């Protein structure tokens, strides 16, 4: 049962213990403990004192003094640890049963200890000032990274690249806000403090820097979440073959029988490090054209997937481009595509098409052969452009949708502040208020202005032991 979002914020003084490695057999497994004072645990399990941050080899003792296992024990005294509390790491052999025995022993030996909640070690690191919220989220993103580019970007965010930009923006807003409020405090003075300090120019520079940070954050969201691409078209136009070609593996069944694909088949590929979640769907045709109930359900699910897509590859059969019935069916599908969803017009079976069909291709269409691979690079390039990814962009850090939303709110408040500052008789109290709201929106990213419910929601999605 999932706990309520704020449940982890309780019991923060309890010592916590968890297995910090994946639940499977391995060469090494780690049991981690964190609390205000772990001296009793160290004495009970290791039967000796441990020098700080030094790996000690020896036996891990059960309650009767017998050895559960042998391995390395490392003690990180507070505050020089991951969580900011005393931390003990026991590196044992990676057998699941063995690690459960060691976990049970730690819980028994440490008064008041309990199993850690998902993400609770990182949550304590955040609450104890070891990480800010953006860095804490980057820990989970680094673990979950599906591409090399995403992993490197998450590492940059964990090292504080994103947070440093946010803090720099916040500091400049605070300085400007102080200037405006100082002017408000001395209305009788005839000195134009804002004019002398070029407040308008400074505000414009802050807005420009924010836009640059927002652009990088959007790239970071794309690295983390990817883009959902749906293959759509009539039966037998080659959607399953195209999915297999893009994935480089035989994922979907390919036959000449119409309606072979009955349900959605998905695969994640990457282009320039950006994950693309490609979904193959059942061939689209009118319900009265098939008596197969399963196929009708598959077609309904196809339209559902299209409605949730970030982009649609509308696949046409180039060998049937002169067939009026095929053209009419394509037109009927096009009329039902949801507005606002980008559509790439792609013509398949280039290898089998006539010269006249090739010449008649619409301008801007992509022609390819899923069978031979001809034209696939052009499709990959079009998908990359559609995603908005900019290859070689420097300084990209992993980011989340909530970060982008906070930056957008900050930009909105800065635009309102600019409008106030440009007025001849500027309402300085309103200008100061917009700057205050912009500062608060930035604080949501690093956790300086975060509700308990948000913290609980974020950390509940971490793995146990982290």
Higher pLDDT, 83 or 191: 83
Per-residue model confidence (pLDDT) at position 168: 94
Per the CB < 8 A criterion, the answer to whether 273 and 148 are in contact is yes
Domain endpoint, select from 387, 410, 438:
387
Find the range with the poorest average confidence among 115-124, 216-225, 448-457: 448-457
Per-residue model confidence (pLDDT) at position 302: 83
Say whether both 91 and 30 belong to one domain.
Answer: yes
Is the residue at 462 inside a domain? Answer: no
Per-residue model confidence (pLDDT) at position 452: 66
Say whether both 275 and 158 belong to one domain.
Answer: no
Answer whether residue 351 shows pLDDT above 50. Answer: yes
Is the residue at 464 inside a domain? Answer: no
Q: How far is CA 23 from CA 93, 120, 143, in A?
A: 13, 18, 15
pLDDT tier at 392 (50, 70, 90 boundaries)? low
133-146 as b/e: b if 16+ CB within 10 A: bbbbbbbbbbeebe
Per-residue model confidence (pLDDT) at position 113: 94
Task: Look at residues 159, 156, 171, 169 and name the one whose alpha carbon lies nearest to residue 131.
Answer: 159
Dist. CA 320–CA 325, nearest whole Å:
9
Per-residue model confidence (pLDDT) at position 10: 52
Please, what sign has the CA dihedral across residues 178, 183, 186, 187? negative
Per the CB < 8 A criterion, the answer to whether 309 and 341 are in contact is yes
3-state secondary structure of 406: helix
Per the CB < 8 A criterion, the answer to whether 203 and 211 are in contact is no
Say whether both 113 and 253 belong to one domain.
Answer: no
Say whether both 207 and 332 belong to one domain.
Answer: no
Dist. CA 95–CA 28, nearest whole Å:
8
- The per-residue pLDDT for range 327-345, each reduced to its tens digit, is 999 999 999 999 888 999 9
DSSP annotation of 52: B
Is the residue at 136 inside a domain? Answer: no
Answer whether residue 427 shows pLDDT above 90. Answer: no
pLDDT tier at 253 (50, 70, 90 boundaries)? very low
Is the residue at 438 inside a domain? Answer: yes
pLDDT tier at 288 (50, 70, 90 boundaries)? low
Say whether both 152 and 124 belong to one domain.
Answer: no
Per-residue model confidence (pLDDT) at position 196: 63
Per the CB < 8 A criterion, the answer to whether 241 and 221 are in contact is no
Per-residue model confidence (pLDDT) at position 260: 47
Answer whether residue 65 shows pLDDT above 90. Answer: yes
Higher pLDDT, 423 or 161: 161
Say whether both 381 and 241 belong to one domain.
Answer: yes
Per-residue model confidence (pLDDT) at position 462: 76
Number of folded domains in the chain? 3
Say whether both 166 and 125 belong to one domain.
Answer: no
Say whether both 280 and 405 belong to one domain.
Answer: no
Find the range with the poorest average confidence among 156-160, 244-248, 284-288, 406-410: 284-288
Per-residue model confidence (pLDDT) at position 464: 77
Answer whether residue 255 shows pLDDT above 80. Answer: no
Per the CB < 8 A criterion, the answer to whether 15 and 465 are in contact is no
Using left for φ > 0, alpha for ψ between -120 and 50, and beta otherwise, residue 40 falls in: alpha
Per-residue model confidence (pLDDT) at position 20: 93
* Section 179-201 average pLDDT: 67
CATH number for 416: 1.20.120.430
Say whether both 358 and 241 belong to one domain.
Answer: yes
* Section 448-452 average pLDDT: 66
Is the residue at 35 inside a domain? Answer: yes
Is the residue at 2 inside a domain? Answer: no
Say whether both 42 and 73 belong to one domain.
Answer: yes
Q: What is the pTM of this model?
A: 0.77
Dist. CA 216–CA 340, nearest whole Å:
24
Higher pLDDT, 456 or 379: 379
Answer whether residue 461 shows pLDDT above 50. Answer: yes
Q: List residues bridging with 119 in a β-sheet.
A: none
Answer whether residue 56 shows pLDDT above 50. Answer: yes
Task: Look at residues 235, 332, 342 and name the one whose alpha carbon lies nearest to residue 283.
Answer: 235
Answer whether residue 108 shows pLDDT above 90. Answer: yes
Per-residue model confidence (pLDDT) at position 434: 92
Per-residue model confidence (pLDDT) at position 195: 65
CATH number for 357: 3.40.50.300
Is the residue at 246 inside a domain? Answer: yes
CATH number for 61: 3.30.1360.120
Per-residue model confidence (pLDDT) at position 406: 95
Is the residue at 454 inside a domain? Answer: no
Q: List residues bridging with 58 in a β-sheet.
A: 71
Calculate Rg over the CA atoms of the chain.
29
Per-residue model confidence (pLDDT) at position 259: 47
- The per-residue pLDDT for range 365-388, each reduced to its tens digit, is 899 999 999 999 999 999 988 888
CA atoms within 13 A on the CB side of 301: 16
Say whether both 97 and 180 belong to one domain.
Answer: no
For the chain, helix, strand, coil in percent to 5 are 50, 15, 35
Per-residue model confidence (pLDDT) at position 162: 94
Range of the domain at 407: 144-222+400-447
Per-residue model confidence (pLDDT) at position 305: 87
Say whether both 233 and 217 belong to one domain.
Answer: no
């Amino acid at each position: 049962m999932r706990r309520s979002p704020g449940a982890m914020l309780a019991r923060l003084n309890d010592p916590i213990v968890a297995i910090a490695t994946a639940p499977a057999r391995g060469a090494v497994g780690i049991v981690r403990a964190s609390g205000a004072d772990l001296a009793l645990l160290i004495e009970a399990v290791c039967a000796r004192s441990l020098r700080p941050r030094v790996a000690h080899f020896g036996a891990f003792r059960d309650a009767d003094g017998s050895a559960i296992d042998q391995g390395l024990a490392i003690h990180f005294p507070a505050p020089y640890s991951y969580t900011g509390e005393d931390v003990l790491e026991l590196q044992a052999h990676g057998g699941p049963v063995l690690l459960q025995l060691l976990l049970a022993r730690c819980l028994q030996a440490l008064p008041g200890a309990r199993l850690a909640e998902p993400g609770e070690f990182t949550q304590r690191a955040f609450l104890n000032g070891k990480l800010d919220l953006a860095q804490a989220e980057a820990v989970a993103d680094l673990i979950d990274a599906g591409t090399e580019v995403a992993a490197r970007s998450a590492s940059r965010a964990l090292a504080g690249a994103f947070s440093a930009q946010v803090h720099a923006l916040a500091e400049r807003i605070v300085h400007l806000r102080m200037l405006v409020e100082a002017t408000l405090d001395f209305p009788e003075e005839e000195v134009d403090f804002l004019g002398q300090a070029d407040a308008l120019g400074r505000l414009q520079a802050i807005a420009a820097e924010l836009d640059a940070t927002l652009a990088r954050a959007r790239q970071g969201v794309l690295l983390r979440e990817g883009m959902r691409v749906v293959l759509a078209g009539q039966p037998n136009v080659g959607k399953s073959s195209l999915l297999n070609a893009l994935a480089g593996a035989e994922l979907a069944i390919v036959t000449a029988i119409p309606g072979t694909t009955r349900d959605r088949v998905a695969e994640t590929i990457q282009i320039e490090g950006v994950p693309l979640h490609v979904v193959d769907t059942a061939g689209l045709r009118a319900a009265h054209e098939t008596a197969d109930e399963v196929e009708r359900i598959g077609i309904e699910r196809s339209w559902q997937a299209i409605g949730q897509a970030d982009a649609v590859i509308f696949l046409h059969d180039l060998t049937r481009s002169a067939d009026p019935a095929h053209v009419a069916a394509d037109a009927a599908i096009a009329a039902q595509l949801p507005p606002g969803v980008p559509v790439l017009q792609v013509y398949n079976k280039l290898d089998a098409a006539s010269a006249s069909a090739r010449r008649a291709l619409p301008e801007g269409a992509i022609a390819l052969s899923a069978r031979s691979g001809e034209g696939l690079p052009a499709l990959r390039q079009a998908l990359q452009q559609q995603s908005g990814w900019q290859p070689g962009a420097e300084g990209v850090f992993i980011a989340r949708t909530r970060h982008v939303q906070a930056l957008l709110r900050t930009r909105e408040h800065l635009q309102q502040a600019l409008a106030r500052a440009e007025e001849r008789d500027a309402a300085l109290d309103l200008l100061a208020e917009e700057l205050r709201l912009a500062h608060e929106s930035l604080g949501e990213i690093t956790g300086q202005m975060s509700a308990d419910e948000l913290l609980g929601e974020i950390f509940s999605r971490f793995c146990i032991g982290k």
